[in-house]
Amino acid sequence: MRTTLCALVWLVAYGCSDSSEPTLADGALVSDGALVSDGALVSDGALVSDGALVSDGSLVSDGALVSDGALVSDGLPLTLWDKIKANSRPHVTAGSGFAQPKRLETVGTLAWEDGLYVSDDGLSLFSFYMPADLIKWVSFVGTHPICPAVANFIRGEALTGTDFDLQPPLNNPWGCTDGVLHSEIAVASRPTTADEFSGWKRHSLSKDFVYDGGFVSSLNGDGTFDLIFSQSTDNNKNDIFWVRESASLSPALASPVSLSATINTDAQQDNPHLERLDAKNLVLLFDNHGIGDADTQIRYSVSGDDGASWSTPKLLSINSDMATEDLQGHLFKDSAHNWWLYFSSNRAGQVEIYRAKHRNNDLIGDFDNWAVVEKVIGVGAVLGDLGVIAAVGEPSLTSNGDLYFVVVYCKEATEQTAYDSCDIDPWYAALE
Ligand SMILES: [Ca+2]
Ligand SMILES: [Ca+2]
Ligand SMILES: [Ca+2]
């Protein structure tokens, strides 16, 4: 009863970095050029300007200093979630070419922002969006399958236009009286890549009372583009839908169709990725990520007639016997015209981001021919023992090679409640 749930719950220690940057006289500190004085103190620890410092669990973020519960400069106390997010350090593999990741703060809310996709130009961001801790919700649904009560789980903002049936009139087809929680496709945009993203908006492809997500777009070179996404269907298994548009990424104007029975079966189809190779040839990646699946693997299917028909899906060769989850495949062509397959896998314990380079760049004639698999982003750690990063995944790249992905972080067990344990936010790592 959901899509794109990153699997969680593993952790790796990743040491705090010491700092020997300039210290400050008591009562005043400088961070990013801003002076902060009221209520902020620094005495014993060294303070670093650009967001890094940490000793004894204090942290600096955006010019605000916090030392065990002190106030931020705008007068608001940081919540535990604020501290966990500001102190999270996903780990970039040396030599991967990426800078230290940063959180996309305007789109990293207490809602569940999963299934991330960034447009080629970096100006539009899409997610599977649900204002709740999806892990706690899925667990609850497992023990309360009939009309599970929703209200206690709402965390973060509901998107304008979303109907959870928390108030009359009740519209849901099951007659549930305590609400119906479901995800939407959310979209955020910005005028240039130097700007922050706007807040999330509900995408017009979203439907009431079903789980929508997995949005991906593919430019066709003729003024049209293809949108694909996943949606839960009557038996609560996802199918993949497709619509060819000519106007804009959002709102979508045409009516989506379910991909052929070659692709969509009674089983789970999730995390779709579509790539156009030439005027007639397309390749589709997807996986069977779903509740209770013992082995999630990435499939590929090709079309030689511009999407009119699709080959019988095959398993990608990079799926690992060591992993119970290989998922979220994403194709990327770099500036030297080399093709890469990015994906997520728990082959080293936690779900992390990997890639493999194509051996000959002949994706039409020799698609499944990938060189050595290498890790790109590992989970890293949350500094100060505030929590853990349980997973990183959902890789998506802009045409200039910047990597967007999600980070799943969890509170320490003693801080978790029945409704609030983990969150997931969009991050990115710039190509250096
Ligand atoms: Ca979030
Ligand atoms: Ca929905
Ligand atoms: Ca299905």
Pairing assessment for the beta strands 326-333 and 314-315 based on DSSP bridges? unpaired
pLDDT exceeds cutoff 80 at 330: yes
CA of 106 to the centre of ligand 1 (A): 10
Pair of tokens at residue 302: 């090709």
Ligand with smallest separation from the Cα of 107: 1
CA of 129 to the centre of ligand 2 (A): 9
Q: Tell me, what DSSP letter sits at residue 75?
A: S
pLDDT exceeds cutoff 80 at 133: yes
Ligand with smallest separation from the Cα of 207: 2
Ligand with smallest separation from the Cα of 240: 3
Q: What is the largest CA-CA distance in the chain?
A: 70
CA distance 242 to 283: 13
> To the nearest whole percent, how much of the chain has pLDDT over 90?
75
Map residue 315 onto helix, strand or coil.
Answer: strand
CA distance 128 to 394: 11
CA distance 328 to 394: 6
Average pLDDT estimate for 51-77: 44
Ligand with smallest separation from the Cα of 239: 3
pLDDT exceeds cutoff 50 at 382: yes
CA distance 250 to 248: 5
The DSSP H or E segment spanning 104 is none
Q: Tell me, what DSSP letter sits at residue 71?
A: B
Query: Using 50, 70 and 90 to split pLDDT, how confident is the model at 308?
Result: very high
CA of 209 to the centre of ligand 1 (A): 21
Q: Token match 């940081």: residue? A: 78
What pLDDT score does 293 carry? 77
DSSP 213-274: EEEEEEE-SSS-EEEEEEEE-TTS-EEEEEEEESS-SSS--S--EEPPTTT--SS--EEEEE
As residues whose CB is below 5 A from the ion ligand 3, the structure lists: 237, 239, 269
pLDDT exceeds cutoff 90 at 115: yes
CA distance 111 to 107: 9
What pLDDT score does 236 carry? 60
**Does 60 or 222 have the greater pLDDT score?**
222
CA of 202 to the centre of ligand 2 (A): 9
Backbone angles phi, psi at 401, to 5 degrees: 95, 5
CA of 109 to the centre of ligand 1 (A): 4
What pLDDT score does 66 carry? 41
What pLDDT score does 223 carry? 84
Mean model confidence pLDDT for the chain:
84
CA of 272 to the centre of ligand 3 (A): 12
**Does 140 or 42 have the greater pLDDT score?**
140
Burial of 12 (0-12, 13-18, 19+ CB in 10 A): middle
What pLDDT score does 260 carry? 87
Query: Using 50, 70 and 90 to split pLDDT, how confident is the model at 75?
Result: low
Q: Token match 């981001």: residue? A: 353
pLDDT exceeds cutoff 90 at 74: no
CA distance 236 to 231: 9
Average pLDDT estimate for 362-390: 97
Ligand with smallest separation from the Cα of 182: 2
Q: Tell me the domains of the chain and their CATH numbers.
A: 91-429 (2.115.10.20)
**Does 6 or 235 have the greater pLDDT score?**
235
Q: Which of 19-28, 155-164, 283-292 has the highest mean pLDDT?
A: 155-164
CA of 111 to the centre of ligand 1 (A): 4
pLDDT exceeds cutoff 80 at 90: yes
pLDDT exceeds cutoff 50 at 6: no
Query: Using 50, 70 and 90 to split pLDDT, how confident is the model at 184?
Result: very high
As residues whose CB is below 5 A from the ion ligand 1, the structure lists: 113, 423, 425
CA of 257 to the centre of ligand 2 (A): 17
CA of 392 to the centre of ligand 3 (A): 25
CA of 423 to the centre of ligand 1 (A): 5
As residues whose CB is below 5 A from the ion ligand 2, the structure lists: 182, 184, 206, 212
Among 167, 153, 219, 210, smallest CA distance to 185 is for 210
Average pLDDT estimate for 254-271: 91
Residues 6+ apart with CB under 8 A from 16: 54, 55, 383, 384
CA of 157 to the centre of ligand 2 (A): 15
DSSP 154-172: --SPPPTT-----SSSP--
CA of 239 to the centre of ligand 1 (A): 25
CA of 219 to the centre of ligand 3 (A): 25
* Candidate from 16-30, 214-228, 261-275, 320-334 with smallest mean pLDDT: 16-30
What pLDDT score does 333 carry? 98
Pairing assessment for the beta strands 112-118 and 124-130 based on DSSP bridges? antiparallel
Ligand with smallest separation from the Cα of 234: 3
CA distance 5 to 428: 19
* Candidate from 60-74, 173-187, 206-220, 238-252 with smallest mean pLDDT: 60-74
CA of 169 to the centre of ligand 2 (A): 18
Beta bridge partners of 212: 231
Average pLDDT estimate for 48-77: 43
**Does 307 or 251 have the greater pLDDT score?**
307
CA of 186 to the centre of ligand 2 (A): 10
Average pLDDT estimate for 122-133: 97
Query: Using 50, 70 and 90 to split pLDDT, how confident is the model at 27?
Result: very low
E strands, 72-153, are: 88-92, 102-103, 112-118, 124-130
pLDDT exceeds cutoff 60 at 67: no
CA distance 259 to 286: 12
The answer to whether 154 and 136 are in contact (CB under 8 A) is no
**Does 393 or 254 have the greater pLDDT score?**
393
